[in-house]
């Protein structure tokens, strides 16, 4: 049996998106910047897709900039604002940002920018009062991730965005994990910039989008032909954009049924693993992505500390045909503790032992039940008592 439970990492492109891409590759392959018929056929695909993706978040189509993915969208939001200023200013982010935000901000610090990293509670949530206290006269941007990819926590984006708006400060959110899984309406949500990614919603890899509220100006990261309304030069990846558009339109149509289904599966998985003494849920259980389950391996006997990590669990479940992911990062062969779990107050040994199981369109109750049985068997094999489990 093969069970894929890593939908937060990527999702399989749905057949409708693949068909749209194939149609572009065979019939609408022109350069969308060209004025002739071949180019205009491609340009029509791009603009139709722009409307489809914009519909996912109820945005005006002309507020959307296509990028190469969520990482570029995040970088464009941060650096596109920062590069407007001749002298360093102040920026506020959370302490649990994706590296696509955390690393550009760290680079800005080397150029003299002030950065405030908002603390989070044990569940990974920012307190809006901390944002209120952090704002300064020279604060030019706040960026807080909407749904944390590693621990599943949803931030109070409406409250945070309203605070920024009340102080005249631009607000960005990385909604890569949220778009297509929860309803987003940027006409109501107080955000100025919002990042999305195609391959998180069953579209192709290699394409994403940044929503920019009308009136907000960015300095481009890429210069050249002036595509995407002068905001992102480079010939658009029309086939990928077409797949993104179809995936977004279908996600919009299925949101009302798929989100409750995922929540039921998520809660079923949490409930069936709740009696295992070595597994501690991470992230907020109340404010949580609908498809996301995560744990920290805890109370590991000292004799097993080095041998049982999140990576160990990934490998063991992979041998059983089940795909999950670990929270810690491996760099040049060295296992590093998860900066997200560290920011949430976990110890370094605990932060090496995060695991994540994320659900998707193909996940069934049978998949959940089989995964629970296998996970329990793996723990029984790796760890001694008190694993008195009915497997």
Average pLDDT over residues 287-295: 97
Compute CA 66 distance to the chain's CA centroid, rounded to the nearest angstrom.
Answer: 17
**Residue 377 predicted with pLDDT over 50:** yes
Name the residues annotated as catalytic.
Answer: 330
The percentage of the chain sitting over the pLDDT mark of 70, rounded to a whole number, equals 94
pLDDT in tens, 43-98: 999 999 999 999 999 999 999 999 999 999 999 999 999 999 999 999 999 999 99
More confident: 216 or 304: 216
256 three-class SS: helix
What residues form DSSP beta bridges with 194?
Answer: 173, 211
Cα distance between residue 357 and residue 31, in whole Å? 40
At 120 the pLDDT is: 98
Cα distance between residue 240 and residue 264, in whole Å? 32
Instruction: Tell me how far CA of residue 77 lies from CA of 174, 190, 272, in angstroms.
Output: 9, 16, 40
Compute CA 246 distance to the chain's CA centroid, rounded to the nearest angstrom.
Answer: 20
Read off the pLDDT band of 354 (50, 70, 90): very high
At 332 the pLDDT is: 39
Calculate the average pLDDT of the chain: 93
**Residue 1 predicted with pLDDT over 90:** no
At 194 the pLDDT is: 98
**Residue 329 predicted with pLDDT over 60:** no
Q: Is the dihedral of CA 335, 78, 158, 249 positive or negative?
A: negative
Compute CA 52 distance to the chain's CA centroid, rounded to the nearest angstrom.
Answer: 20
Longest dimension (CA), the chain: 72
Place of tokens 């001694």: 384
**Residue 189 predicted with pLDDT over 80:** yes
At 54 the pLDDT is: 98
Read off the pLDDT band of 305 (50, 70, 90): low
Average pLDDT over residues 221-239: 92
Average pLDDT over residues 219-244: 94
Cα distance between residue 222 and residue 189, in whole Å? 28
At 334 the pLDDT is: 53
Cα distance between residue 348 and residue 336, in whole Å? 9
Read off the pLDDT band of 308 (50, 70, 90): confident
Read off the pLDDT band of 387 (50, 70, 90): very low
Q: Report which secondary-structure segment, H or E, holds 66.
A: strand 64-67
Its pTM stands at: 0.94
At 339 the pLDDT is: 95
pLDDT in tens, 87-144: 999 999 999 999 999 999 999 999 999 999 999 999 999 999 999 999 999 999 999 9
More confident: 331 or 319: 319
Q: Is the dihedral of CA 215, 219, 222, 226 positive or negative?
A: positive
At 385 the pLDDT is: 59
């Amino acid at each position: 049996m093969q069970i894929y439970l890593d939908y937060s990492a990527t999702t399989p492109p749905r057949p409708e998106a693949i068909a749209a891409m194939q149609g572009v590759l065979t019939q609408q392959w022109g350069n969308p910047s060209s004025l002739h018929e071949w180019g205009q056929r491609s340009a029509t695909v791009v603009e139709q897709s722009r409307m489809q993706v914009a519909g996912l978040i109820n945005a005006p189509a002309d507020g959307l900039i296509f990028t190469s993915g969520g990482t570029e969208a995040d970088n464009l939001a941060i650096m596109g604002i920062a590069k407007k200023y001749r002298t360093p200013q102040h920026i506020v982010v959370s302490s649990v940002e994706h590296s696509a935000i955390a690393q550009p901000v760290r680079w800005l610090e080397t150029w003299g920018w002030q950065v405030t990293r908002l603390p989070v509670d044990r569940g990974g949530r920012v307190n809006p009062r901390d944002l209120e206290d952090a704002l300064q006269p020279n604060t030019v941007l706040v960026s807080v991730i909407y749904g944390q990819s590693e621990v599943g926590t949803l931030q109070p984006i409406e409250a945070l965005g309203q605070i920024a708006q009340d102080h005249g400060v631009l607000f960005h959110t990385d909604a890569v994990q949220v778009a297509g899984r929860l309803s987003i309406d940027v006409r109501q949500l107080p955000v100025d910039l919002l990042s999305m990614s195609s391959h998180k919603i069953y579209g192709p890899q290699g394409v994403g989008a940044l929503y920019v509220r009308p009136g907000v100006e960015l300095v481009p990261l890429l210069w050249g032909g002036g595509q995407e309304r002068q905001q992102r030069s480079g010939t658009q990846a029309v086939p990928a954009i077409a797949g993104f558009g179809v995936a977004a339109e279908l996600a919009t149509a299925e949101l009302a049924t798929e989100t409750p289904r995922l929540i039921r599966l998520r809660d079923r998985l949490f409930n069936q693993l709740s009696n295992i003494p070595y597994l501690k849920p991470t992230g907020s259980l109340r404010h949580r992505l609908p498809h996301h389950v995560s744990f920290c391996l805890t109370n590991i006997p000292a004799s097993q500390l080095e041998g049982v990590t999140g990576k160990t669990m990934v490998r063991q479940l992979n041998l059983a045909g089940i795909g999950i992911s670990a929270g810690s990062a491996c760099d040049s062969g060295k296992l590093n503790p998860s900066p997200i779990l560290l920011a949430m107050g976990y110890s370094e040994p605990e932060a090496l032992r995060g695991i994540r199981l994320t659900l998707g369109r193909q996940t069934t109750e049978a998949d959940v039940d089989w995964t629970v049985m296998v996970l329990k068997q793996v723990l029984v094999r790796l760890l001694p008592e008190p694993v008195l489990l009915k497997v």
